[in-house]
């Protein structure tokens, strides 16, 4: 059955209303008001509401809750729905609209949401208050907290203030909801749960409750009200059967692959693949698809000729995994992109790098998406320790390819892996970059880079060792390497920071 856009809006509104009523009933079911819930009938005093917003927002963060609520139309003692005359849209403070007045006096800004609902037992107004995120929320310059039904100044309770500060964390995209109020069957349709159990090495339970329990334990889903579930961004981005069934902002995070028949983007597009599955569900298929398209290069080994891919498979795998893990998920309308040209492959992800490009090989990785990174490492998509770039660079040296290029460009991070080119075909900057990366690998192994090891890296014959010496001199001149022992300049070299 097809639904018109207007019908879809109506259906969505009905689901939202149904969820809100279920939420009200769940909040009413508590034995008493909690630190994150306040019941009222008609009290519409603006200053009292402002103090409550500050107190409940701060207390929600102290209790590690995402939101807090004020409900009008609920009896304070019995929690029965008794209806209310309070109308936030009609409320004024002087000549100002009440909600605008309130927003001006709450700092930092919080996205308050007033909703008027027709509960089966009467009219209820619900105010949803997000938990504090960056700093304690103040009303008229004062921060409050919640103790029982009281709302004292936060400064008068240093232990609560300290807990609030400890709980204030940077925004966690992974924990936000991608879909809300889904029943169990819908969750299991939207998520590739068999792949989750396979990749994490767990036996697949033979009942829904066991499946949902494990998905919840890894923060892929969280409990909603009325026995329903929310799918987190983490769950969707990793295990969606179809990212198109989620919000467009999430769907645009799908991996895009484009192959060109030439050396630049003006060449004919020979292959294009727009990802549909979540990263974990589709990773092996994507890597296999790309490797299947790579040209094969004939390599003369020690005893015989052998055919091998143009690029090392481990390099493709690690670089794609890094792009998925380290992207900035908060950038709208952008996702990882892989572009294959005749002489190189470019892998781009949204967000400036958190580590200087020159130090990515040796420094521990810093990720904006720690939950995503942790789970992908657990599923062995990438290195358990480190960024995996040391193995990438090592494989590049084995293939004697031009050096890896990592650059920050226009709010994104781009890694370029080049196809085979001889030492003579590399320019000065490429030779210096290769020299630096070789020095880093040696340093990580507890060794020094020497003229002889650099000759081996470039495939330079020993009789032409002067060519390697020229590269070392250029790298020293550019400050990319340094002499390991000033008293014995030819004893070896370290990277500039070593």
Domain of 340, CATH number, reads 3.30.565.60
Q: Helices (DSSP H) in 297-427: which residue ranges?
A: 313-326, 370-378, 389-398
The pLDDT value recorded for residue 458 is: 96
Would the pLDDT of 302 be above 50?
no
Would the pLDDT of 282 be above 50?
yes
Note whether 143 and 151 are within 8 A (CB).
no
Which of 172, 176, 154 minimizes the C-alpha distance to 163?
154
- Establish if 14 belongs to a structural domain: yes
User: What tokens were used for 325?
Assistant: 């893990």
The reply to whether 228 and 298 lie within a common domain is no
The reply to whether 20 and 125 lie within a common domain is yes
The reply to whether 267 and 416 lie within a common domain is yes
The pLDDT value recorded for residue 10 is: 56
- Give the chain's end-to-end CA distance (angstroms, integer): 66
The reply to whether 157 and 206 lie within a common domain is no
The pLDDT value recorded for residue 119 is: 93
The reply to whether 241 and 379 lie within a common domain is no
Q: What percent of the chain shows pLDDT beyond 90? A: 74
3-state secondary structure of 230: strand
The reply to whether 86 and 129 lie within a common domain is yes
Contacts by residues 22-26 (CB-CB < 8 Å, ≥ 24 positions apart)? 22/181, 22/225, 22/226, 22/228, 23/126, 23/225, 23/226, 24/71, 24/74, 24/81, 24/117, 24/119, 24/124, 24/126, 25/225, 25/226, 26/225, 26/226
The pLDDT value recorded for residue 383 is: 65
Q: Over the stretch 306-356, which tens digit does the pLDDT of each residue have?
A: 566 788 999 999 999 999 999 999 888 889 999 999 999 999 999 998 888
The pLDDT value recorded for residue 301 is: 45
Q: How confident is the model at residue 166 (pLDDT cuts 50, 70, 90)?
A: confident
Q: Residue 95 gets which letter from DSSP?
A: T
Q: Over the stretch 473-491, which tens digit does the pLDDT of each residue have?
A: 999 999 999 999 988 878 8
3-state secondary structure of 363: coil
The reply to whether 297 and 316 lie within a common domain is yes
Domain limits at 398? 256-363+375-421
> For residues 99 and 368, which has the higher predicted lDDT (pLDDT)?
99
The reply to whether 196 and 299 lie within a common domain is no
User: What tokens were used for 64?
Assistant: 């590690």
Determine which of 33-42, 239-248, 250-259 has the lowest per-residue pLDDT on average: 33-42
Would the pLDDT of 408 be above 60?
yes
The reply to whether 26 and 154 lie within a common domain is yes
15 to 20, 29, 391: CA distances (angstroms)? 9, 21, 50
Instruction: Tell me how many domains the chain contains.
Output: 4
| Residue 495 Rama label (left phi>0; alpha psi -120 to 50; beta) | beta
Mean pLDDT score of the chain, rounded to an integer?
90
- For 111-127, give the secondary structure using H, E and C: CCEEEEEEECCEEEEEE
pTM: predicted TM-score of the whole model, two decimal places: 0.80
Distance CA 238, CA 258 (A): 21
User: What tokens were used for 134?
Assistant: 């960056």
């Amino acid at each position: 059955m097809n639904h018109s856009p207007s019908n879809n809006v109506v259906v969505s509104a009905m689901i939202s209303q149904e969820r809100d009523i279920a939420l009200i009933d769940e909040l009413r079911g508590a034995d008493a008001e909690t630190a994150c819930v306040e019941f009222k009938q008609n009290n519409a005093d603006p200053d009292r509401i402002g103090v409550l917003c500050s107190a409940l927002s701060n207390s929600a963060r102290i209790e590690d809750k995402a939101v807090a609520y004020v409900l009008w139309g609920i009896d304070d003692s019995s929690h029965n729905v008794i209806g209310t005359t309070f109308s936030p849209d009609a409320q004024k403070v002087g000549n100002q609209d009440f909600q605008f007045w309130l927003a001006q006096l709450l700092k930092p800004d919080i996205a308050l949401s007033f909703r008027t609902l027709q509960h089966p037992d009467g009219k209820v107004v619900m105010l949803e208050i997000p938990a504090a995120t960056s700093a304690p929320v103040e009303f008229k310059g004062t921060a409050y907290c919640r103790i029982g039904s009281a709302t004292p100044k936060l400064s008068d309770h240093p232990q609560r203030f300290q807990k609030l500060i400890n709980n204030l964390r940077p925004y966690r995209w992974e924990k936000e909801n991608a879909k809300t109020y889904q029943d169990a069957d819908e969750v299991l349709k939207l998520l590739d749960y068999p792949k989750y159990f396979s990749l994490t090495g767990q036996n697949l339970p033979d009942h829904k409750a066991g499946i949902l329990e494990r998905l919840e334990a890894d923060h892929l889903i969280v409990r909603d009200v009325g026995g329903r579930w929310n799918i987190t961004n983490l769950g969707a981005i990793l295990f969606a059967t179809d990212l198109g069934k989620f919000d467009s902002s999430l769907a645009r995070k799908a991996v895009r692959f484009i192959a060109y028949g030439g050396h630049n983007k003006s060449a004919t597009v020979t292959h294009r693949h727009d990802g549909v599955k979540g990263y974990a569900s589709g990773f092996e298929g994507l890597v296999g698809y790309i490797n299947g398209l790579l040209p094969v290069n004939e390599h003369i080994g020690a005893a015989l000729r052998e055919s091998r891919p143009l690029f090392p498979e481990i390099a493709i795998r690690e670089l794609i995994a890094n792009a998925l893990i380290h992207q900035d998920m908060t950038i709208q309308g952008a996702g990882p992109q892989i572009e294959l040209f005749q002489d190189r492959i470019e892998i781009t992800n949204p967000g400036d790098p958190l580590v200087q490009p020159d130090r990515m090989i040796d420094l521990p990785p810093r990720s904006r998406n720690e939950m995503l990174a942790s789970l992908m490492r657990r599923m062995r998509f990438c290195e358990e320790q480190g960024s995996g770039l040391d193995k990438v660079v090592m494989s590049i040296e084995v293939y004697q390819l031009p050096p890896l290029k990592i650059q920050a460009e226009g709010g994104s991070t781009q890694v370029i892996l080049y196809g085979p080119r001889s030492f003579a075909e590399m320019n000065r900057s490429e030779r210096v970059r290769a020299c630096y990366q070789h020095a880093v690998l040696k340093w990580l192994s507890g060794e020094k880079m020497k003229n002889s090891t650099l000759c081996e890296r470039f495939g330079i014959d020993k009789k032409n060792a002067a060519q390697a010496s020229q590269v070392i001199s250029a790298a020293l001149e550019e400050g990319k390497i340094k002499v390991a022992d000033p008293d014995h300049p030819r004893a070896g070299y370290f990277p500039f920071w070593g």
